[in-house]
A and B are shown apart, each in its own frame.
Chain A
Amino acid sequence: MSHADLTMEGHSAGLTAGTPFSMPTKKFAMWLFIIADTMTFAACLVAYGFLRNGTANWPRPFHSITNVAIMTFILLTSSLTMLLGVQAARAGDKAGAFRWTMITAAAGILFAFLHVREWLGLIDEGMTMFKNPWGTGLFGASFFSITGLHLTHVTCGIIALVAVGLRYKGGRYNADDIEVVGLYWHFVDLVWMFVVPLVYLLNLSH
């Protein structure tokens, strides 16, 4: 066996080696992204807690939680519709998978609309990144940073859902891709479960 043969053999063995944890590469990459993104959100939320704890006059601007309750319901429900989409894709129901994926994207758009409406309401009351009528200006910076980061994720998720859904419908993507974008969408939902109590519920005016 020549040196070239040995090299080729080693190379091909590397190429055909199993993926880590026997999962598809795209899915593994998405999990790595999710773990990294968890750290980003966790750092933001811990920093928020640090500031809130260390600031005496922390504002409590939320008189009603109806809006955030509706937003939470929409996001949780969108996770269920995403699951239905993934199950339909696995079952080979192409039309069903596409329909549920688009319903999930529509729920995301509704969530984003309610979020932007809430932002505009707070801005109307005089809140900016650096000042607000209720207390320390740090509140605006941290509120817009955390909810803005989450809203950016939601927006990216909507774009990804539509793009993947259309390509799946067109036959260029398969059930793997629907599942991978689904993982991302569930993660966005999971983060919201921590944003709501820390940023909204803890700042209710009593």
Chain B
Amino acid sequence: MEKARIGGWLAAPVFVAVLALCIAPLAILFAYSFFQVDFVAIVTDPTLKNYARIAASGTYRWLIAKAFLSGLAVTALTAVIGYPVAWFIAKRVVHYKSALLTLLLVPLYTGDMVRIFAWRVLLGAEGVLNALLMWTGAISRPLDSLLFSPLATHIVLTYNYLPFMVIGLWLAFEALDDRLVEAASDLGAGTWSAFRRVTLPLTAPGLIAGGLMVFVMVVGDYLTPQLVGGASGVTIISAINDLFGTAFDWPLGSAIAWTMLAILFCFFAAAVVAISKSSLGRAMVGGEA
């Protein structure tokens, strides 16, 4: 088959690029996770000690758990905030659909650093949010704790990744046939019941896909907790960074990194199974391939 041969030639450079720039580095990282540090040299006798250290350390266990809890919390927040937005863009906008979607992405173009700094100004003691709260009389003195807190981290994380959730959900809403919702109400379903029995199950693949994107990015986010989290900004990712930098323990850093990756792959596999198990997901994959 000539077509298959051309397909192979098209795919080959992509495979090579990802192999060289992503899979090979991660494989070496994996190898390092079984090494050990002796003063300033790396001993290459394979050992499981690094993984044992992670399992024994309450700090690392807590940091790993915190990363995934943050991921789940921000995923849930973006889902709740983004669901009506995606519905609105898909079902209530006719002419300016692509403009609205692009406008949602434009703030991301300002760059991580500049945007995070803008949030520091917004949330700071003399910031806009404090001024607003004082003006409405909700508080009498500026809240110092607004910035450099877990709250600030989660506000900015939600802000950063909301557009990805909206796009995942929007795709699902575009694929949802309005007549199915009409059919539900024709058969006696009220607004809430039609949502629960038809709309929600049929947009679930978009929710899972968008959720997975947000989750992965929140878990892997390095800058946001560092720059607006203050004392709470220590994360498992910043711990990995320290181990490769000042602390100089590459093997332990590699082991933590691979622990994170293994857990992330589990979430990913679960999401893929969840999407492909739903008959709708199967239809979507089959229809597009």
A and B bind: no
Using CB atoms and an 8 Å cutoff, list the residues of chain B in contact with chain A. none
